[in-house]
Amino acid sequence: MSQALPLTPDYNVWPIEASLKKVSFKPRVLTVCWSDGRESRYHSIWLRENAADETTVNPATRERILDLSTLPSWPEIAAADIDEAGALCIDFAPEGRRLRFHPGWLRAHDYDNTGDPAAPLVSVKTWKRNSADGPDSLDATGLLDTEAGSEAEEAILAPALSSILGKGLIRLCNLPIKPDSLKAIAQRIGPVRPTNFGMLFDVKAKPNPDSNAYTSIALPPHVDLPTREYQPGMQMLHCLENSVEGGEAVMLDGFAVAEALREHHSEAFTTLTRVRWCFANTAKNTDYVWYSPIIRIDERGELCEVRIADFLRGPLQTDFEEVEPAYEALMVLQKVLQDPQFAIRFTYQPGDLVIFDNRRLLHARDAFEGTSGHRWLQGCYMERDEIRSRYRMIKRACQQRKATGEASLA
């Protein structure tokens, strides 16, 4: 019976894109040559920590249990070869332990040749009103009738999640209009994040509102809950009823707006990434306050978040010399937000569900005549992590089916 490939230190399936052909080593560095000509180097300590044996990971959970500081000394390579299954085999000293590595996993984690490991799962594409790469709409008929984790479910969710990750927005159509069905739909992706507005919240005009959203007045472009230290990463709005006059929905790509500022108003852009504004939501029973720049960029200079919500900004508290430049930059932003090239407009139809990145997309609403009919949306929040996790799980399932010959990626 031929030898099987070893387990990997995770639950993913790692296709073997190229086989191991040759291996050489020094005590602290191992070099492998692949069948397609690539050469990869790995440090001995990295290899030891990322082994998949039961001394390194718990086989039941695939979580690491090895504490490197408990090893007798720095792990070094005493011998290395390729076995009959095509796995890399290493003898580690001074432990005297022989460990095997799956070639597909090793290749996928080739840090000697790869780019940014934290690159987005889906390429981020900014869009404007007339952009050819604008937001997508998908028919989600029967989503709740599919079995969780089935190919039928994934056929709907995979392109939807890809659109959210890449463009920040997806509109799903033809979903049930039963009240509270949003929770079941959301849980097909991941856990819902409760807030002081509840697990689900009803967006409709009501007496004694605790938010402008619960009135019939127009709402300017904004993100929700910028008053939180970690504002929700995703928002869902599900239309149950809409028979009013007016109330057209408006959405803008906040990253496209920020990039326009960076290109045409660089000083305002820099100011908005530097000055921390106060965001506050004070109600009878809650008092949320957080301080943050309106635009946040990561260490690579890439956009990672916008916090735009004029009606939730508290009094600016910053250095005296920063006040006028801050307001000048704010007004530049406000004028750019009024440029119609950024906004898409649509009317919610019952059964529509819009899912969008709440730390990127801005949403707004025209005023509506409350006595002309009924407008009822239900909403909930989720984290970006849940979208990414579910997308990875779908990709994993596709890889598993491909590996077993049951199906292949579309």
Structural domain contains residue 405? no
Residues 96 and 215 reside in one and the same domain: no
pLDDT at 244: 83
Are 333 and 228 in contact, with CB atoms under 8 Å apart?
A: no
pLDDT tens-digit profile, the chain (410 residues): 468 999 999 988 898 989 999 999 999 999 999 999 999 999 999 999 999 999 999 999 999 999 999 999 999 999 999 999 999 999 999 999 999 999 999 999 999 998 777 788 899 999 998 876 667 899 999 999 999 889 999 999 999 999 999 999 999 999 999 999 999 999 999 999 999 999 999 998 766 766 777 777 888 899 999 999 999 999 999 999 998 888 889 999 999 999 999 999 999 999 999 999 999 998 888 899 999 999 999 988 999 999 999 999 999 999 999 999 999 999 999 999 999 999 999 999 999 999 999 999 999 988 877 666 788 999 999 999 999 999 999 998 888 887 777 434 44
In this predicted structure, what is the pLDDT of residue 406? 45
Tally of CB atoms within 10 A around 155? 14
Residue 404: per-residue pLDDT: 75
344 shares a domain with 241: yes
State whether residue 172 is helix, strand or coil.
strand
| φ, ψ (nearest 5 deg) of residue 240 | -100, -30
Please state the pTM of the whole predicted model: 0.87
Instruction: Confirm whether 250 is domain-assigned.
Output: yes
Indicate whether 285 and 150 sit together in one domain: yes
pLDDT (0 to 100) of residue 256: 97
Query: Do 71 and 63 contact (CB within 8 A), yes or no?
Result: no
Do 143 and 75 share a structural domain?
Answer: no
13 domain-assigned = no
Contacts (Cβ under 8 Å, ≥6 apart) of 406: none
Q: Give me the CATH number covering residue 241.
A: 3.60.130.10
Same domain? 333 vs 389: yes
| Rounded alpha-carbon distances, angstroms, from residue 209 to 202, 206, 212, 237 | 11, 6, 7, 18
Domain check: are 155 and 290 in the same one? yes
Domain of residue 38: give its range.
Answer: 20-114
Is 326 domain-assigned?
yes
The reply to whether omega before 94 is within 30° of 0 (cis) is yes
Question: Are 104 and 164 within one domain?
Answer: no
Residues 52 and 162 reside in one and the same domain: no
Phi, psi of 269 (to 5 degrees): -60, -50
Res 410: pLDDT? 40
Whole-number Å distance between alpha carbons of 219 and 241: 19
Q: End of a domain among 114, 148, 176? A: 114
Domain count, the chain: 2
